[in-house]
Amino acid sequence: MAILKKKNRSRIAIVASSFNDFITKKLLSSCLMELHTQGLGDQQVTTVWVPGAFEIPLTALALARRKDIDAVICLGAVIRGETYHFEVVSNECARGIMEASLMTSKPVIMGVLTTDTVAQAQARAGVKSSNKGCDAACAALEMIALLKEI
């Protein structure tokens, strides 16, 4: 006898950065797989691509303000280079994601990797160990349920 899994009625938006998309695409794939595993259908998930991590917060805020979105997942990869640019982008991206969440009282999940090397980013977006895209999907669903309880 087959066991029917309860359909999850949540609506999720994903903001993904095109910059370093060789990492972001892996995060997105794992994120989508986990959302589907948790009972969300394709029609419940909206994915929006932005140029880079710096553009994620504005887009996340716009999506979080929509009444038909329960949570926003932000995915990207900022990899340290030779200049201060890494700190500026990673710090402001994180701050903007937090502000979007606080301004809308909705979960806006930080799934943006900030790593020293490409190898570290690949390890966090791989299939051998924990993929942070999957972790971000789980965090979004957990926060939606928690906020409904509160």
Q: Are 124 and 113 in contact (CB under 8 A)?
A: yes
Residue with tokens 């977006």: 125
**Residue tagged 């997942």 (tokens):** 73
Q: Could you tell me which of 97, 55, 53, 50 has the C-alpha nearest to residue 79?
A: 53
What does the alpha-carbon distance between residue 79 and residue 102 come to, in Å, rounded to a whole number?
26
Catalytic residue among 7, 9, 85, 95: 85
Active site residue 85: yes
Angle formed at CA 36 by CA 77 and CA 23, multiple of 5 degrees:
15
Which residues are part of the catalytic machinery?
A: 85
